[in-house]
Structure 1
Amino acid sequence: MGKTSTFRCHLDLHHICYLLLGTLLLLNHASKSSATIQELYSMEDQEAYVKYYKQFPGPLQNFTNDALLMVAKCAELTVKEYNNQSQVAYQLRHITKARIEEQDNLVKLQVVVESDSHGYHEMYFEAKSILTTKYITSSMTKAAVIPKKGTHHCDKLSSKAGCTECTLFKRCVKGHVPSHPWLDFALKTQQEIQIDQEFPKVQLLAAHNAFNDRADHYGVLDYCPWPPPYDAACLDLANQEFSLTDMLNMGIRSLEIDPWWCFGKMRMSHASEHAIGCGPTDRLFVYGMKEIGEWVHKPENAGIIIRIYFEDGSDHTKGHDDLINGPIKKYFGDRVFTPTDMKQLGRWPTLREMRNLNKTVLVTSANSYTHGSVFIQEGYWNEYIRNEFTPYPTCGQASSSSVLRYYCDSTNYGPFWNGPKQTGVILDFSEFMKCGIQYPAADQINPKLLETAVWTWAKGQPSQPLTIQSCVFLDGTSHRWYLAPSCDTLLPHACISSSNSTVWVLGSKASYGDINACPKGFHFSLPVNGFHQQKLIEVASNQSVWLNMTSYLPQLV
């Protein structure tokens, strides 16, 4: 069949060599019990597999076209046969090693599979396989789950985030980014104080191409350093380091996902002019929806509003409305604020209204491609690349009436595409928050980056747990929020115009909450986003001022 790719021992990746495979508990399938799977294929199928697997380094890159197709299809069919015999639901996610023994028509494989509970396993397979000009047959003869060998070292961003467990490829295992209490509470505060804002005006930190993460085995060969600039020849295919679950846990509230129909399945893929294209091992769309849905339904996440944005179109999903709407219905159910809900309300809801309805998920497209408008809202914002953004006070394209998304791109394809140069990357959220940008969509989300999105609490604040009697002030020097040791301190009050939410004046110096502190036409308030805070800072002229936190304390104590 041409060239073969042999197994080699990589102790740094804890791969298990052939010499050690004899120690595994192999499941031997005698010919009388082994099922032979036969599948037709076309020349277009072969071209698609060859195009995909030969464009980046991997165990199939040096095979002949026929051998490549046989190994790729054999891997898929063997996992399918294993699922049928073992009553599991594994998806093939990565072929790590492959070898063909031509004299026996035997294919030996080492692969990574994902279970429907989002766990990843290394497996070893042997299968008899025959490729003709019209079809391929495969019959599994051996299968084993390769046991984990020790703890994998964490690399790069996973290490910097303090990840407690990493994968074979040294990336953080889903759910293993430790919590950061100050950051978690600060970002929670920033969402809670927007509770009475209509949805399009709410600032939500966004993860660009959130599905395209190394924790889920995209970009397993990435080696570009972070942050940029990159070596021109380096490879960086994944937009994110951490899983959907971990990014939500960190405080991301807008997940951006690209659904694509390819290789007979609805997948999540970074398929575009500059990307490698939708592939046969890209993660299933249904798995992504299941993972997000599980997070939404956890009791500790009750009431948290999130946005899911599909970059979609007829060329993406090929009219398979059921394969988009079905998983949304199954895993989110009545938690979605639907176009029908919008029509009944007659306007955009506030976060409080969504929470009261127990509809904490809003799903949207960037355009009018909504798969029948069952769950998905039409696009309602304008978007620009990171390189088009300018800091405060010009703020790029921002205005009081605009809803904006600025997105970046950290991917790099050697000399062909350099995302940080051509699109730009977000290395600091602070100016986007200060400008009131609703959806700053960043790559390589991590706790240190998210700290730059905090414009409320100072580090270490609140210095003790809040109560419904707590008093909070904006410090005139650090321009951050502090818990006051006493509510009797005489400070100016932050007074906002009753007719214009960007106009502030300082009320009289008084103890917290003095009903006569604000002049006529103004009322005691607090900034609800970074832009409002910047306007207050300018008026305060380095004076500390009381902030009206009282009505928000019940959600924060």
Structure 2
Amino acid sequence: MLTPSTSLAGRLCLFLVLSMIAPVSAGEIEDFERSWTAKALAHQRTLDLYAPLAHATFITTHNSYNAADYSNLGSYWDPNHVYSISKQLRMGVRCMEFDVHEFFSTDGWPWEWGTELLLCHGTSDHVGCSTFDRQFTEGLAEVRDFLNRPENANEVILIYLEEHIDDAFGEAVDKLRAYFGDKIFKPVGGCQGIPMDISKADILAAGKQIMFMTDGCRNSTFNEWVFTGVGDANGFPSSNPNRFQNYPNCDPFGRDQYNREMVRFFEDRTTLTDIFGNPGAPLTPERMREMMRCGVNLPGMDELRPFDGRLQNAVWSWNNNEPNDYGSGEDCGEHIANGRFNDIPCDRMVSFACKDPDTGEWYITSGTGTWSEGNDFCNMETGGRYVFAVPVSGYENEKLKEAKIIDGSDRVWLNYSDGAVEGEWIPNALGNRNYRGKWTTSGGRDVHSENNVSVSFTLTGTEHLQFDLTASVDTYLFLVDEYGAIIADDDDGGSGYNSRLAMTLQAGRYRLVAATYHSGQAGAFTLTTNKGSFGLAP
């Protein structure tokens, strides 16, 4: 974007002001991380962990790199943000935009100056770029450091690269590989959009944590590592908040597009756009609430701050200050009269929320029971058409609210529990006992191989159970605890060359590693159990 000329005095004044503001942020970020809003957003990231990406929500920032935390006399003096990339991630952002330009840099000693990949707020011809702009690798390093923290092992990040690269595509790929290596979830066959039917859980099961995408396929080397868009689209289906229509309209995108692609709305609050462009409407807290109701995947914000009303309104699930485990033993989730979630003891008598996996329609049972009877009631009253479920998006929550109104119900059970580990709320924790996956090139009998598939498993009580791994190749199955220690393994305990484990396990979190006897195998497999849950959305 074109940068207007600004006097040195003006830049200096702005720099001094920003220098005084920036240091205040550290304590605010820490306070936010301890807040109910931050915790509720974290629960929502688990709620949609197993949902198709087309139904997942990624809190998003626009021009994430252009922040006052980086402002100096030569660059970032008209920022989209106050806070750095690292701080945005700590505020719950999981989709970012990096504008990457190939431009002259004065970083380092004079003899080291030359053309580099920079994070620049400029035009496609690099007008507006500065020799003082930060290196592309500096932004990558902040994201890498965030993902490397143990507490972020189950986070998935999407980075949109608005690339203005002239020739250095190979260099860009080298930098991605150097900073993220095997953590990158990349296209299988080159120029390809991000598959919309996979989930964040699938990405994590493959040992990956980050995806990169751009607009289309301009370079085959680059697009071996960077997706061309989402689904069949080049880039994101995008619009400005001023075109957004509140629920239930949700225009300008139709429900079919919401169901098959990741939809993005973004604002631009820079002074430059305000003066020379058409900034459109801001993304206000009220619009954020409506976007969640519509199922917008990527609400792209500028000027994100801790305790921002937009972050508060991105919470569509838990009631205020819930879950609180009041009096202890509140391990099961219910949907209450105001359309929010609440935790209560699992032995209460309540109706059940059931969902048709094919249509997304909700049904409220006429019968009531304790939480553990949810599968039985949903199956019995619908002939197996509906399953005990929990909303995984704001849109699904709206549909459940409407079903409750039609039924005249105030409270219903949700298939949502922290019975295995207090505070670890698992969606669809009851009864999802089939996992279908595939090996591209299996890692053989190596429990730690990234080429084998690792699947989470949860038990809410002590049970005698059986695991079966079936495939057209010779299988090998591992059961490990949450720390990675092997509890049991099996080669041919099942029929033929299939694997089976049978044992009694206590409540807790585990992982099954679906492997093969010989490495380098390809094909589909099915993992089943008779108790507990693999956590997959119905």
Q: Note whether the superposition's TM-score is higher than 0.5.
A: yes
Aligned-partner Cα distance in 2 for 1:540–1:218:
55
Partner of 1:410, secondary structure, is coil
CA contact (8 A) 1:253 1:305 kept: yes
- In structure 1, runs of 5+ residues without a counterpart are 1-50, 62-94, 98-111, 113-151, 156-166, 223-235
CA contact (8 A) 2:336 2:411 kept: yes
Query: Residue 242 of structure 1 aligns to which amino acid in structure 2?
Result: Y
Query: Residue 350 of structure 1 aligns to which amino acid in structure 2?
Result: S
Partner of 2:410, secondary structure, is coil
Partner of 2:291, secondary structure, is helix
Query: Residue 512 of structure 1 aligns to which amino acid in structure 2?
Result: W
Aligned-partner Cα distance in 2 for 1:303–1:466:
30
Aligned-partner Cα distance in 2 for 1:331–1:174:
27
Q: Which runs of 4+ in 1 moved over 6 A?
A: 218-222, 273-276, 465-469
1:298 aligns with 2:146: no
Partner of 1:416, secondary structure, is helix
Which of 200, 204, 219 is matched with 2:58 structurally? 204
- The answer for the alignment partner of 1:18 in structure 2 is none
Aligned-partner Cα distance in 1 for 2:296–2:313:
14
Aligned-partner Cα distance in 2 for 1:490–1:271:
60
Distance 1:508 1:336, change over 3 A: same
Distance 1:460 1:550, change over 3 A: closer
CA contact (8 A) 2:161 2:213 kept: yes
CA contact (8 A) 1:467 1:553 kept: no
CA contact (8 A) 1:174 1:245 kept: no
Distance 1:329 1:510, change over 3 A: same
TM-score, normalising length: structure 1:
0.63
1:406 aligns with 2:290: no
Question: Which residues in structure 2 correspond to 1:113-128 (within 5 Å)?
Answer: none
Distance 1:499 1:424, change over 3 A: same
Partner of 1:255, secondary structure, is strand
- The answer for the alignment partner of 1:362 in structure 2 is 211
Aligned-residue CA RMSD in angstroms? 3.4
Partner of 1:257, secondary structure, is strand
Distance 1:200 1:535, change over 3 A: closer
CA contact (8 A) 1:410 1:425 kept: no
Which of 534, 537, 547 is matched with 2:401 structurally? 537
- The answer for the alignment partner of 1:450 in structure 2 is 311
- The answer for the alignment partner of 1:279 in structure 2 is 130
- The answer for the alignment partner of 2:388 in structure 1 is 524
1:370-420 residue CA offsets vs partner (Å, 9 max, x unmatched): 653232111123111221111100101141434211111111238733654
- The answer for the alignment partner of 1:243 in structure 2 is 84
Distance 1:372 1:308, change over 3 A: same
Partner of 2:300, secondary structure, is strand
Distance 1:270 1:466, change over 3 A: farther
Query: Residue 226 of structure 2 aligns to which amino acid in structure 1?
Result: I
Which of 275, 293, 299 is matched with 1:440 structurally? 299
- The answer for the alignment partner of 1:334 in structure 2 is 182
Distance 1:398 1:502, change over 3 A: farther
- The answer for the alignment partner of 1:548 in structure 2 is 415
Query: Residue 57 of structure 1 aligns to which amino acid in structure 2?
Result: S
Distance 1:474 1:275, change over 3 A: farther
Q: Which has the higher contact order (CA 8 A, sep 6+)?
A: 2
- The answer for the alignment partner of 1:391 in structure 2 is 246
Aligned-partner Cα distance in 1 for 2:267–2:57:
17
Question: Which residues in structure 2 correspond to 1:55-204 (within 5 Å)?
Answer: 55-59=5-9, 96=12, 168-172=19-23, 176=27, 177-178=29-30, 179-204=33-58
- The answer for the alignment partner of 2:530 in structure 1 is none
Question: Which residues in structure 2 correspond to 1:458-537 (within 5 Å)?
Answer: 458-464=319-325, 470-476=331-337, 478-484=338-344, 486-514=345-373, 515-518=375-378, 519-520=381-382, 521-537=385-401
My pick for the range that moved more, 498-507 or 431-440, is: 498-507
Larger radius of gyration: 1
Aligned-partner Cα distance in 2 for 1:363–1:290:
15
Aligned-partner Cα distance in 2 for 1:466–1:338:
46
Per-residue deviation at 1:551? 8.3
TM-score, normalising length: structure 2:
0.65
Aligned-partner Cα distance in 2 for 1:366–1:172:
36
Per-residue deviation at 1:479? 1.8
Partner of 2:248, secondary structure, is coil
1:94-124 residue CA offsets vs partner (Å, 9 max, x unmatched): x859xxxxxxxxxxxxxx9xxxxxxxxxxxx
CA contact (8 A) 1:409 1:443 kept: yes
Query: Residue 93 of structure 2 aligns to which amino acid in structure 1?
Result: I
Give the length in aligned residue pairs: 387
CA contact (8 A) 2:61 2:93 kept: yes
- The answer for the alignment partner of 2:172 in structure 1 is 324
CA contact (8 A) 2:325 2:331 kept: no
Per-residue deviation at 1:275? 10
Aligned-partner Cα distance in 1 for 2:387–2:73:
52
Aligned-partner Cα distance in 1 for 2:238–2:25:
30
Query: Residue 544 of structure 1 aligns to which amino acid in structure 2?
Result: R
Aligned-partner Cα distance in 1 for 2:371–2:131:
61
Query: Residue 202 of structure 1 aligns to which amino acid in structure 2?
Result: A
Distance 1:502 1:382, change over 3 A: farther
- The answer for the alignment partner of 2:429 in structure 1 is none
